Amino acid sequence: MTTLLSSDTGEPRSLLRSYRTLPGVFDEMMTADGLIRPHWRTFIDSLEAMPEHELADRWRGAARLLHEHGLTYAAEPFIDGPSRPWQLDFVPALMQAGEWRALEAGLIQRARLINAVLADLYGPQRLLRDGQLPSALLFANPHFLRPCHGITPRRGPFIHVYAVDLGRGSDGRWWVLADRTQAPSGVGFALENRIVLSRCLPELFRECDVERLATYFHASHLSLVDCTERENPRIVLLTPGPSSENYFAHAYLARYLGYSLAEGADLTVRDNRVYLKSVDGLKPVDLIVRRVDGDLCDPLELKPDSTVGVAGLLQAARAQTVTIANALGSGVAEAKALMGYLPELCRLLLGEELKIPSIRTLWGGDAAQRAEMLASLDRLAVDSAFKRRPMLARSGGVLAGVMAEPERRALEAAIVRSGHEFVGHEVLTLSTTPTWVDGTLMPRPMTLRMFVAAHGDDYIVLPGGLTRIASTADPRAILLQRGDGTKDTWVLADKPVSGFSLLRTPLSYVEPKRTGKDLPSRAADNLFWLGRQAERCEDRMRILRSVLRRLTEDPAPLQDIVALERALSVLTGVSQWMTWRSGERTHRVAGLEHQVYALLFTPDHAQGLMEPLAELRRTASLVRDRLSLDAWRTLSRLQSDISERSPQAMAPDNGFIAGDTLIMLDDALRLLAAFSGMEMENMTRSHGWRFLDMGRRIERAEHLAKLMQSLLLHGSPEEDGSLLLLLELADSLMTYRSRYLTTPMLPPVLDLLLLDETNPRSVAFQLVALRDHVDQLPRDSDGEVRSREQRLTLALSTELQLAEVGDLYAADATGHRGKLADLLERIVLGLPQLSEHITGSYFSLGEARRPADL
Amino acid sequence: MLYDVSHRTTYRYSIPVSFSHHLLHLTPRPGERQLCHRTALTVTPTPSRHVAAKDYFGNPITFITLQEQHTDLVLYARSTIEVQPSTILDPAVTMPWDRVYDELWHDPSESGLDAIQYVFDSPYTQATAPVEELARKAFTPDRPVLAAALDLTRIIFETFTYDPTATTVSTPLDHVFMARRGVCQDFAHLQLACLRSLKVPARYVSGYLLTRPPQGRERLIGADVSHAWLSVWCPPFGWVDVDPTNNLVVSHEHITLGWGRDYGDVSPVNGAIFGGGAHTVAVSVEVAPISDDR
């Protein structure tokens, strides 16, 4: 189809009013004559039909979604600091099916070609022996992993996933800017962009007949399964861990595909076989989807100081007991130096002409190319011949033409001395695509990362990709850098699209089975602490809220101040309530207010609220591949609520506005309740849930016992408001009132909060639950002998079951309740011990490997 | 010459090691001038897995796995090795050094491919500008490669002081360069970097020296421990071994364990352990001639 429809046949287009193509630059949407290309028509029309305020609402909704998903391109989600929020432009890049199919064919060919090159370089090296490839091109490449030579995959290709960065030149042709063959990143981000965008523009998404992404992932998964030659293979996604800038995408992809997310320390090699260290013991791993650079994967045979690898992995790969996708060493094919040789290699290895050209690239290792490079240096961008840059780093090298003279001379000298380290490549004038800037559409330069996956003996291409845009209008390829935006990429179908989606059915759950992913010891450890920290936050918020409420609402009776001081002392550990003299009231209320303020707002206060909140955030981010999106968003909202509202609640001179603070705490407690509700209602009763719940129960029981020690063992609890406060802190006031209809008395309170197994807030309930959990945990012996954990929980829960309220209530002549004190003491001492036993039995497998430094 | 070579490495850990993997380069590599009559590697405690193999460079290696908890690990390698003296070569007939790389670029033969892989920087050898400057003192235009290489060996021997306290395995090369002192491994790395800065292929050799010298001869520097030197690609002869620590062309007093681009490719013991805490290591090497009448 060649006829183009004019953009101004109808009403003046508000969104396109100031849209102008740049001279000599290809624009994706508009021709040089200002006509809209036909495949953009539906999208633009629908967008313009939308009222302006609605458009703004949609954008805001999408921004919130992105924020709540915690989409960042760095270590820590949730917070500002080193991590940067992911920039998504809400106008997708559009591509016609016909054009996409041409790229698809070219990329499949290129994947085949690179696979054939890798098979030769890590095998017979005929390309070097026959002189088709300069041997220096291989031997000078730091990504050539010599110990991997001779390792061939038992089945399947060297590269299972492959990504290509493309740019469209001013002539409208696509050029390959870079190949990514090691552990291509970005597909997780592409997926997330699609989810957010299809949710915020659902009708546009439908009207435009956008090709779906899910089939690609499904086919890629089946192909991986096929390589293992096992029916139900164990697949892990190997990540460098939370310190990696792509950790978010790793966790996201692992959850989407239903693979276990594993760090190097979660895996071990025994007898040439890779195992996952799970709470169930060692589980054989059949396939590793690798997101760790090859040279870091095995400290034994590769870089010895790597802390993210698996010692012995190469031996397992050599023995072909595990499939690694991509094969170790495949990073060698990312070298820009290789690009200029691909057309010839394509003819030689595939007997075909290369379908998509690479951007013209000269390698300084070859004398003739070096001379040409030096002669035309001003027109070239100079880049490393072998090294790769992070996905969003300044890409495309430096422009020699704009360098100062001394630097330019230094660069020339370096090229003369070690030419093999450099390539010079042509500078592409990138195409522009409409981008949302200040409420309207403006042209911005773009590159496109496309993804290819092995499928049987061949490859398939993701119908979409990650479009990246520059923040300025400068169309030179080299100016795409960090901090610039991304777009979803829509391939517009010319026939109806299939609605297949994986989102609700992770792949490994396709076959009905009752257990999910294995639980690595490290993940169990983090879930356990997630449970503890969530409960700890709740406990502390409850104390702070109750104290604050009593201080600000009706003036508290004098003796109640003592109860408040005792409750706070559970947090602070300071016991200054023992004496009470009249006339001190104002002084002591001020003291309490000061303490509450410090506990609420002081950053990193170990006894306060901020530390458990920070820990909650940290542990949640470590297991986010195991949390539902809703659970994650709830925690995300909790964090942002508190960080946004704390400053408002804080008044000058270290005071605070009690009303705002109370509302903030009420809302925060509701979010925590929502989180624990999801945990109870939405998590399958797997080991992962068990560890999370055990963490919560241990924390709750210990806290409750400490509260009782503080409020019930001193003074006269039945008179000073302690019982009421205790019932409130234990969230059991309603239950008490419905049962007893009296002012609180100690014996029924003891029964309800200590001994009543039906009250989910009682100590007994926690211990019975802990006993059941511990009984269900995997054990070495066959249940013949009770484990330490079993003995401890059995002892404590039995003691509570056998206790008599009357005995506990009985006091001696001085008013001391010896039996109650002893019981509480045993609980307070026993629970940390239980925590230690669980750590020793289930988490220590995850202990970090120490490089031997031999 | 026939030698009895023994190499004992003892690790002592402050906390017991529960599990470990090791990769060992402790078995001498047979070669044109070197025969291995007998070689044995004993590990205590007994490994659960003990597998012999070859690395990428063709060196004999051993993989061991220890699953028994231990605080002491002893690696004891003992071999009977026969070494032939090297033939005397005339440096003047070797190829001018500035032609060596260009010839190799166009030489896809087995030996050409073997040589060219040792031209480029490796993790322990970086060809910096000062390194190249040092190399050019010996490598003047058109000079035969072996003549220049021997001259460079002498310059390094005379400029640098042998000092076992000056460096460790991880001391970077520019530190050695600045301090003008180091041990055999540093000097080998330095000369490798020099040669590679000029694109002359050179490889790192790990091995041993005769512990007790023959009567009337001085004891060589670096005996009693592992030794290191290098091989230089000198067409038409091929690889020629030179020892910058002792300023000599290697003959029958050096026993070769193996070679690679640098120390990292042939380090005697590499390992990954679980537990262990701090550790101490003791190494003893003995190379004793066996009398011919035995």
pLDDT, residue A579, reads: 54
Top mean pLDDT of A400-414, A493-507, A584-598, B233-247 is at: B233-247
- Asked if A139 lies within 8 A of B276 by C-beta distance, the reply is no
Give the closest residue to A711 by CA, choosing from A845, A569, A558: A569
- Touching check for B20 and chain A: CB below 8 Å? yes
Give how far A851 is from chain B: nearest CA, Å: 5
- Touching check for A53 and chain B: CB below 8 Å? no
Average pLDDT over chain A, rounded to an integer:
85
Q: What are the start-end ranges of the E strands in A652-742?
A: 655-656
Written as one string, the DSSP assignment of A775-831 is: HHS--SS-SSS--HHHHHHHHHHHHHHH--HHHHH---TTS--HHHHHHHHHHHHHH
Are B135 and B77 members of one domain? no
- Touching check for B70 and chain A: CB below 8 Å? no
Which whole number is the average pLDDT over A500-508? Answer: 45
List, for residues B53-85, the tens digit of each pLDDT value. Answer: 999 999 999 999 999 889 999 999 999 999 999
Give the closest residue to A757 by CA, choosing from A770, A747, A739, A746: A770
Which whole number is the average pLDDT over A535-542? Answer: 95
pLDDT, residue A351, reads: 97
pLDDT, residue A845, reads: 60
- Touching check for A134 and chain B: CB below 8 Å? yes
pLDDT, residue A782, reads: 59
Which of B171, B194, B233, B270 is best to mutate for the A interface (most A CBs within 10 A)? B270
Taking CA–CA distances from A139, the nearest residue in chain B reads B117
Are B145 and B7 members of one domain? no
Are A632 and A745 members of one domain? no
Are B226 and B251 members of one domain? yes
Between residues A554 and B9, the one the model is more confident about? B9
List, for residues A790-815, the tens digit of each pLDDT value. Answer: 999 999 999 999 999 999 998 888 88
In a domain, residue B171? The reply is: yes
Are A689 and A729 members of one domain? yes
pLDDT, residue B47, reads: 96
pLDDT, residue A580, reads: 54
Give how far B85 is from chain A: nearest CA, Å: 32
CB atoms within 10 A of CB A333: 24
Give the closest residue to A324 by CA, choosing from A161, A180, A186, A455: A161
Are A668 and A689 members of one domain? no
- pLDDT band at A75; cut points 50, 70, 90: very low
Are B258 and B273 members of one domain? no
- Asked if A125 lies within 8 A of B113 by C-beta distance, the reply is yes
CATH number for the domain harbouring residue A382? 3.30.1490
CATH number for the domain harbouring residue B193? 3.10.620.30
| Contact status, residue A631 vs residue A679, Cβ threshold 8 Å | yes
Q: Say how far residue B17 (Cα) sits from the centre of its chain.
A: 29
- The pTM for the full model equals 0.82
CATH number for the domain harbouring residue A241? 3.40.50.11290
Are A655 and A691 members of one domain? no
- pLDDT band at A510; cut points 50, 70, 90: very low
pLDDT, residue A167, reads: 94
In a domain, residue A125? The reply is: no
What is the Cα–Cα distance from A620 to A526, expressed in whole angstroms?
8
pLDDT, residue B113, reads: 95
pLDDT, residue A119, reads: 97
- pLDDT band at A503; cut points 50, 70, 90: very low
Are A643 and A740 members of one domain? no
- Asked if B117 lies within 8 A of A139 by C-beta distance, the reply is yes
Are B24 and B149 members of one domain? no
- Quote the ipTM score: 0.94
pLDDT, residue A393, reads: 39
Counting residues of chain A whose pLDDT is more than 90, the rounded percentage is 50
| Residue A129 exposure: Cα atoms within 13 Å on the Cβ side | 8
pLDDT, residue A65, reads: 77
Are A821 and A770 members of one domain? yes
Which whole number is the average pLDDT over A118-137? Answer: 96
Give the closest residue to A123 by CA, choosing from B232, B56, B63, B194: B56
pLDDT, residue A95, reads: 97
What is the Cα–Cα distance from B241 to B248, expressed in whole angstroms?
9
Are B25 and B71 members of one domain? yes
Segments forming the whole domain that contains residue B76: 2-84+267-289
Q: Say how far residue A132 (Cα) sits from the centre of its chain.
A: 44
Are B258 and B278 members of one domain? no
CB atoms within 10 A of CB A809: 16
Segments forming the whole domain that contains residue A374: 360-427
A378, A402, B181 from A375: Cα distances, Å:
8, 16, 43
pLDDT, residue B98, reads: 95
In a domain, residue A514? The reply is: no
In a domain, residue A849? The reply is: yes
Which whole number is the average pLDDT over A538-545? Answer: 94
- Asked if A852 lies within 8 A of B272 by C-beta distance, the reply is yes
Top mean pLDDT of A428-437, A477-486, A548-557 is at: A428-437
In a domain, residue B121? The reply is: yes
Give B-chain residues touching A847 at CB under 8 angstroms. 274-275
In a domain, residue A807? The reply is: yes
Are B136 and B206 members of one domain? yes
Are A616 and A540 members of one domain? yes
pLDDT, residue B29, reads: 97
Which whole number is the average pLDDT over A468-493? Answer: 75
In a domain, residue B278? The reply is: yes
Are B37 and B107 members of one domain? no
pLDDT, residue B101, reads: 96
In a domain, residue B294? The reply is: no
Question: Strand A281-284's sheet: what is its strand order?
Answer: A267-270, A273-278, A281-284
Identify the weakest region by mean pLDDT among A318-332, A565-579, B35-49: A565-579
In a domain, residue B184? The reply is: yes
- Asked if B276 lies within 8 A of A128 by C-beta distance, the reply is no
The single residue listed with the structure tokens 């690798």 is A290
CATH number for the domain harbouring residue B280? 2.60.40.2250
List, for residues B106-157, the tens digit of each pLDDT value. Answer: 999 999 999 999 999 999 999 888 999 999 999 999 999 999 999 999 999 9
Question: Strand A361-363's sheet: what is its strand order?
Answer: A361-363, A422-426, A380-384, A398-399
In a domain, residue B164? The reply is: yes
Cα-atom radius of gyration of chain A, to the nearest Å? 32
Give how far B256 is from chain A: nearest CA, Å: 21
pLDDT at A558 over 70: no
Domain boundary among A646, A661, A679: A679
Are B236 and B148 members of one domain? yes
In a domain, residue A224? The reply is: no
Q: What domain count does chain A have?
A: 4
Give how far B273 is from chain A: nearest CA, Å: 6
Domain boundary among A679, A706, A730: A679
Are A765 and A642 members of one domain? no
pLDDT at B212 over 80: no
| Contact status, residue A532 vs residue A697, Cβ threshold 8 Å | no
pLDDT, residue A8, reads: 43
Are A537 and A659 members of one domain? yes
In a domain, residue A823? The reply is: yes
In a domain, residue A671? The reply is: yes
What is the Cα–Cα distance from B242 to B234, expressed in whole angstroms?
11
In a domain, residue B189? The reply is: yes
List, for residues A445-464, the tens digit of each pLDDT value. Answer: 999 999 999 998 899 999 99
Domain boundary among A410, A427, A444: A427
Are A655 and A565 members of one domain? yes
Are A599 and A728 members of one domain? no
Are A814 and A704 members of one domain? yes
Give the closest residue to A464 by CA, choosing from A97, A83, A20, A836: A97
pLDDT at A207 over 80: yes
Identify the weakest region by mean pLDDT among A728-732, B219-223, B264-268: B219-223
- Touching check for B155 and chain A: CB below 8 Å? no
List, for residues A76-122, the tens digit of each pLDDT value. Answer: 333 333 344 567 888 999 999 999 999 999 999 999 999 999 999 99
- Asked if A128 lies within 8 A of B19 by C-beta distance, the reply is no
pLDDT at A374 over 70: yes
pLDDT, residue A500, reads: 56
Which of A133, A135, A313, A422 is best to mutate for the B interface (most B CBs within 10 A)? A135
Identify the weakest region by mean pLDDT among A85-99, A271-285, A495-509: A495-509
Q: What domain count does chain B have?
A: 2
The three-state DSSP-derived secondary structure of A407-423 is HHHHHHHHHHHCHHHEE
**Measured on CA atoms in the order A204, A205, A207, A210, is the torsion positive or negative?**
positive
Are B60 and B149 members of one domain? no
Between residues A510 and B15, the one the model is more confident about? B15
Are B277 and B153 members of one domain? no
pLDDT at A846 over 60: no
In a domain, residue A795? The reply is: yes
